[in-house]
Structure 1
Amino acid sequence: MKRFVAGLVGVVLLIASAACGAQAPHAASFAAAPAITFPVGIRIVALARGPARPLPTTVWYPALFAGRDAPIAAGPFPVVIYSHGLHSLPARHAEIISRWVAAGFVVAAPAYPRTREDARNFTRADVRNQPADAWYVVGKVLALPVFAGHLDGSRIGAAGHSAGGYTTAGLFTPGHDHTLRGGIVIAGAGMAGAFAGPPAAMLFVHGTQDPTVPIEAARAAYDRVRWPKAFLALPGQDHGAYLTPGQPGFAKVLATTLDFLRWTLYDDPAARGRLALVG
């Protein structure tokens, strides 16, 4: 993601109240969302879904102290799989990811083999293969011995920007695992077969002046969702300036996405209430 020129300040959040109850889909009794801010640890994991699909994955996690390979804090924590856009890398999304992690989430972000910034044989057509890559990474991260006992495989979320937003939508197809409780589609839209299977809450985040993925594409995907859903529209904003700290819209995007994650992955009623009151 490049640093874009900022647009107008302001957001509008539309939430489908008829479908949304006080709890997230597949609600269960979990520990409350952490009330503390965690240091952020980082670990790089060499994963691959076969020799032709290397998936080097950056895992950000709540830690005992900040830094590379720091010990993970006492969990268990929900896990979010994050997908980057075309010609991008996980590190370009570290600013917002690290803030989610500090609030009590583990975030795993693979670098996709054919759409990453330095990809050989780049092709946008490979996005259709990325949902399977993403779910493969989830399973591998959950099984890492270094995180044993600290991750909760029953609380999985997904998020992504641009082509990563399409990848995120593609995770929610018929037969998707019931542990996938919510998705955040940022500057993206739907994918064939998306929004079917077990109910899962969806949040769409989009700039109204996005020149890359028109907001109408995101609204069309939003309209197809028959689950609890919300749409955060950022007036005057482009394809992603609002993901950069200090840019107009960043604070609202961070607050809204955090509340969405707290609601869907911690069943936090206060976070759900804040979502309903925005706009």
Structure 2
Amino acid sequence: MISARPVVLPAPSGRGEDLQVSVCAPATGGDLPVIVFSHGFGWSMDGYAPLADHWAAEGFVVVRPTHLDSRTLAIPHEDPRTPRIWRTRVEDLTLVLDGLGVLEASVPGLAGRVDHGRIAVAGHSWGAQTASTLLGARVLDADGVPGEDMSDPRVTAGVLLALPGLGDSLTPFAAENLPFMKPSFDTMTAPALIVAGDRDDSALSTRGPDWFTDAYTHSPGRKSLLTLFGAEHSLGGVPGTEVAETTDESPERVALIRRLSTAYLRSALSPADTGWREAVAALENDPRALGDLLSK
């Protein structure tokens, strides 16, 4: 595997910081599809190695930008950019897409090996909301009217991990301080794998774990739902191993996410690939096939 960090993309002046990203990819092969990954609140391009390293080993170019809310940047809450960080996050992903050629040329051994026509987005928590916007989700304004369409036709699939749900059940704190957490999934038409934990009980919603399945329930596009029994918000440890945010560490659960997300993305980006359909059929016909998937 080859990797480089930080690779810097010049950003608009209003961002205040150039965009730092991490790029990892297989050491050999060509026509490599791309996954742009959006981290959860406070994380950075250095997080989510359990997913990024696996995807790279399986033949993807994985790009992880560092958003302005990252603890590594230490931007205070009272910073004037804070109210629009949710938009800046989306713009970060678009900036990565615009700069794919620059990133490809900046990583030794990667030039000429990237397939710019096969691009997916992925994200965890706030990062999943960020990624969903490029798939067609929109944020409602105070009157419930969908805001700007920030979808991107270059993105053809997504993996959304612990994606926050609708804004009709926000706690008073979330409603007052996080007004962007009012998504509409009515126009999220791009294919997506939505992953939720059945013990993910968020302090931001008055509902229970089913809040994290709203995108599956309300989006009109081709989508799949993977519900992980016993999983909390970190879904077993997708941000990393032995980190404070992981309260339900489970290497087996992370391994399952890695295997199924890889199969899903391969099939979504290459329609001739049947791996996802085969994995779903195996699990439906015999739950014991789960062990076989984990061992591959």
Band the TM-score falls in, shorter-chain normalisation: 0.7 to 0.9
Partner of residue 258, structure 1: 262
Give the letter for the 1:252 counterpart. L
Could you tell me which runs of 5 or more consecutive residues in structure 1 were left unpaired when the two chains were aligned: 1-38, 64-72
Partner of residue 12, structure 2: 50
User: Which runs of structure 2 are paired with 1:24-43 in the superposition (5 Å)?
Assistant: 39-43=1-5
Partner of residue 33, structure 1: none
Q: Percent identity among equivalent residues? A: 26
Partner of residue 13, structure 1: none
Of 122, 143, 156, 2:119 maps to: 156
Which of 121-130 and 152-161 deviates more? 121-130
Partner of residue 138, structure 1: 97
Q: TM-score, normalised by structure 1?
A: 0.74
User: Which runs of structure 2 are paired with 1:192-231 in the superposition (5 Å)?
Assistant: 192-194=183-185, 196=187, 199-212=189-202, 214-231=208-225
**Deviation, structure 1 residue 254:** 1.0
Of 223, 233, 237, 2:231 maps to: 237
Contact 2:193 2:264 (8 Å CA) reproduced: yes
Give the letter for the 2:263 counterpart. D
Contact 1:170 1:193 (8 Å CA) reproduced: no
**Deviation, structure 1 residue 153:** 1.2
Compare the two structures and name the one with the higher helix fraction: 2
Partner of residue 154, structure 2: 179
Number of aligned residue pairs: give it.
231
1:11-46, CA deviations, whole angstroms, 9 ceiling, x for partnerless residues? Answer: xxxxxxxxxxxxxxxxxxxxxxxxxxxx34334211
Structure 2 residue 63 is matched with structure 1 residue 108: yes
Which of 119-128 and 162-171 deviates more? 119-128
Give the letter for the 1:131 counterpart. V
Contact 2:190 2:221 (8 Å CA) reproduced: yes
**Deviation, structure 1 residue 231:** 0.8
Contact 2:30 2:112 (8 Å CA) reproduced: yes
Q: Which has the larger Rg?
A: 2
**Deviation, structure 1 residue 233:** 0.7
**Deviation, structure 1 residue 113:** 1.4
Give the direction of change, closer, same or farther, for the CA distance of 1:43–1:268 in structure 2 (3 Å limit). farther
Q: Per the alignment, in what secondary structure is the counterpart of residue 100 of structure 1?
A: helix
Partner of residue 274, structure 1: 278
Give the direction of change, closer, same or farther, for the CA distance of 1:132–1:175 in structure 2 (3 Å limit). closer
Q: TM-score, normalised by structure 2?
A: 0.70
Contact 2:123 2:159 (8 Å CA) reproduced: yes
**Deviation, structure 1 residue 89:** 1.6
Contact 2:135 2:156 (8 Å CA) reproduced: no
Q: RCO greater where, 1 or 2, for CA within 8 Å and sep 6 or more?
A: 1
Give the letter for the 2:31 counterpart. P
**Deviation, structure 1 residue 192:** 3.2
